[in-house]
Amino acid sequence: MTVFCNLGLFPNYFENFSEFIEKEKYELTLEKYYIHQYRITEKEHQDHYLMQSYFQNLHLIGLVKELADHSNITAGKLKVYFHRVGNSLILPIEYGVSELENLTLDDVKEMREDIFGGIHKSERSKLFVNELMNIFTNKEKKYSFLIENWSLLKENYYSSFESYLEGFSFEKIKTSSLQYFQELNDKIHETIRKVSNYIFGIPIAFLFLISRLEFSEPSAVKNFSLLGIGYLFILLIYKIFFKSIEESLDSIKNDINRYESKIKHISSLSQIHTELKQLKNNTLENQYNKLKTLRWVTFFIALGLTSLVFYLSWNSVARVWDAFIFFIQSFIQR
């Protein structure tokens, strides 16, 4: 018995890999598909070497498009355009299974991160594009040539960037780094000012509460009301003021860590890197310790206030306690 199947009813069915990349050449838009030649689906055999090469190639196409001055798709064909003074490159993005057979582009994502992930993004992009255009000098403008010479392009780019750093005047970045360093210093000193204000303000606030207590003829209601106000004040300090200071310190610490990671490999900024470390490990850490001390001081002041109120109102407390015990005993005896 012969079974005839109209493959037109299955638009995501591909007889071979060539058909698949012809439809999904520049990005994978299909959620489901089946490549009969290798029994590949969106869930199975994704580790097939051609699928791995296909995804690596998509990363390279994405990087080239992102760096291009312009790109367009005409009649299903993608072209990217690069323009420099006295030079230009128009590169059609065409490839087939033969280009994917021996593809080794497993580090394209790392290259993209190198270009866009650190400082000197603009310079890195320009250097990479310059080297990309250079490898096509007096060469046929074919995408397959880029794939074949990817390693050469990487090597030339890294060499160019190293030369750029060696010959680059760091005065501008030093100036911006010093400005940023000063901003971090200002943030820390603003936090120091807040902590200092609380160091003086909290005891004064509690001294004010203590001054309102009844000493000569203690009023338990008034004294315990003031104690309650004191507890509310403590809650406010812990939940808002202390938390705000700690979040400010954490934010500054994160800023320092981020900036450290950006400049740690730049030898010309080693002094700023050292000062950032000192700022984090000494000045910033001292503020954390002061905040911790302030919390303990607040706790002991509150404990002292509580003890004082109970001492002044002990007779009233004792009467209330005796009445409570009597009530409990009476309730049990019923």
Collapse the DSSP code of 47 into the 3-class scheme (helix H, G, I; strand E, B; otherwise coil) and give the result: coil
Measured distance CA(99)–CA(54) in Å, rounded: 10
Average pLDDT over residues 262-290: 76
> What pLDDT score was predicted for residue 294?
80
pLDDT, tens digit (0-9, with 9 covering 90-100), for 210-227: 666 666 666 677 777 777
Average pLDDT over residues 93-112: 90
DSSP 187: H
> What pLDDT score was predicted for residue 4?
43
Average pLDDT over residues 21-49: 91
CA dist list (Å): 236 to 124, 145, 192: 50, 67, 20
Average pLDDT over residues 102-114: 88
Measured distance CA(305)–CA(223) in Å, rounded: 10
pLDDT, tens digit (0-9, with 9 covering 90-100), for 239-250: 887 888 888 888
176 pLDDT more than 70: no
276 pLDDT more than 60: yes
Average pLDDT over residues 274-289: 83
Q: Where are the domains of the chain?
A: 49-167, 171-333
DSSP E strand stretches across the chain: 13-14, 34-35, 40-41, 70-74, 77-84, 87-93
**Above pLDDT 90, what percent of the chain?**
31
Average pLDDT over residues 142-161: 91
Residues 6 or more apart in contact with residue 60 via CB below 8 angstroms? 105, 108, 146, 147, 150
> What pLDDT score was predicted for residue 174?
59
Residues 6 or more apart in contact with residue 261 via CB below 8 angstroms? none
Q: Please tell me the number of Cα atoms within 13 Å of 8 on its side-chain side.
A: 1
Please answer whether residues 220 and 317 qualify as being in contact, where contact means their C-beta atoms are separated by less than 8 angstroms.
Answer: yes
Query: Strand pairing partners for 108?
Result: none
